[in-house]
Structure 1
Amino acid sequence: MQAMGWSTVFAVEIPVMESVLRGTVVYFVLFILLRLAGRRELGSLGVADLLILLLIADASGNAMTGGSNSLTDGLLVAATIVGWGFVVDWLMYQFPALNKLVTPRKVCVVRDGQYQWRNMRREFVTRDEILSEMRLAGIKSLDEVCAAYIEPNGKLSFLKAEPTETGPG
């Protein structure tokens, strides 16, 4: 067994600009793919979603470092990705039109106590998921819901219906 020296752990094995370019390309390709995949993948992680993210991380790791085992190369790629995350967030804050382009719109899945089946199918949301989220929000019946939306972050939000006055009339 050959001992690894500190100089090899921190050695730069691939050119710095190649690491930056690789990190940049992988960041933006994954950014686009995750946006196309839909908001639910980000808002609620199931077992399949977690598995997909782990496999993406593993597959993209080698693409970003070019097979390098250097700690420095890996940290440079990680810094590039974090940097692009900051730049994209800053750009979306500075330019609301870009934010609207990149961020998905909310989608109505319940309106006036009625399921919006077409929107539910498009977003892969089941009746049981809506009912479960209603219970978590303290809502007992679909009749209590004026509207329910899948928000851009993938979470369900509810607007309660105004209570109707029942009494002697």
Structure 2
Amino acid sequence: METIVRIVIIYTVIIVGLRILGKREFGQLSPAELVTLLIIPEIVSPALVRDDPSLTNAIVGTTTLFSLVFVVSLLMHHVPPLEKVVSSSPTLLVSDGRFLAENMNKERISPEEIYTEMRKAGVYELSQVRWVVLESDGKMSVIPRPGAARVANDDTSS
């Protein structure tokens, strides 16, 4: 029964902490937020398996971690140069229908990955693309040239 109580307490602390940090989809996590989610199990596992008889260390560790993430996000919001250091900026991968090989190599993005995103956007030829941007959240945005023919997704065909 003690294990169940410990899990309920830790679960509540984590849910409250994540709720305070704000709403984000997992695909939109910043590197700092992803690291936070990866560190949480290491902090709380001793309290859950009773290697540490006290829940206090797990709660203090988790709330400290959430506090750090919150403070860093506040600082990044109010100090733009800090945001540039902590977060990545968008990278142009295609410009006017041409791959930017240097940027693609720097970001380790293959032409096949770009073609996949183009197809998802309904664009099938590189010449139809004005820009492809690797956004800060790791997703690619495909901006077609004005007047480029776009094909709507047809989920009814097999």
Contact 2:92 2:133 (C-alpha < 8 Å) held by counterparts = yes
Paired position in structure 1 for 2:124: 140
The answer for unaligned runs of 5 or more in structure 1 is 10-41, 45-52, 165-169
Question: 1:69 offset after TM fit, Å?
Answer: 4.6
**TM-score, normalized by length of structure 2?**
0.60
Are residue 103 (structure 1) and residue 94 (structure 2) matched?
A: no
Question: 1:95 offset after TM fit, Å?
Answer: 1.2
Report the Cα distance in structure 1 between the residues aligned to 2:128 and 2:73, rounded to whole angstroms: 37
Paired position in structure 1 for 2:100: 116
Percent identity over paired residues: 29
Report the Cα distance in structure 1 between the residues aligned to 2:147 and 2:131, rounded to whole angstroms: 14
Number of residue pairs matched? 116
Superposition pairs of residues 12-161 of structure 1, within 5 angstroms? 57=39, 60-61=42-43, 68-161=52-145
The answer for unaligned runs of 5 or more in structure 2 is 7-25, 29-34, 149-158
Quick one: higher RCO (CA 8 Å, sep 6+), 1 or 2? 1
One-letter identity of the residue aligned with 2:67? G
CA 71–110 in structure 1, closer or farther in 2 if over 3 Å, else same: same
Question: RMSD of the alignment, in Å?
Answer: 3.2
Question: 1:99 offset after TM fit, Å?
Answer: 1.2
Q: Secondary structure at the match of 2:143?
A: strand
Contact 2:117 2:142 (C-alpha < 8 Å) held by counterparts = no
Q: Secondary structure at the match of 1:118?
A: helix
One-letter identity of the residue aligned with 2:73? D
Q: Secondary structure at the match of 1:110?
A: strand
**TM-score, normalized by length of structure 1?**
0.57
CA 112–140 in structure 1, closer or farther in 2 if over 3 Å, else same: same
Report the Cα distance in structure 2 between the residues aligned to 1:86 and 1:58, rounded to whole angstroms: 15
Report the Cα distance in structure 1 between the residues aligned to 2:53 and 2:106, rounded to whole angstroms: 43
CA 140–74 in structure 1, closer or farther in 2 if over 3 Å, else same: same
- Report the structure number with the largest CA radius of gyration: 1
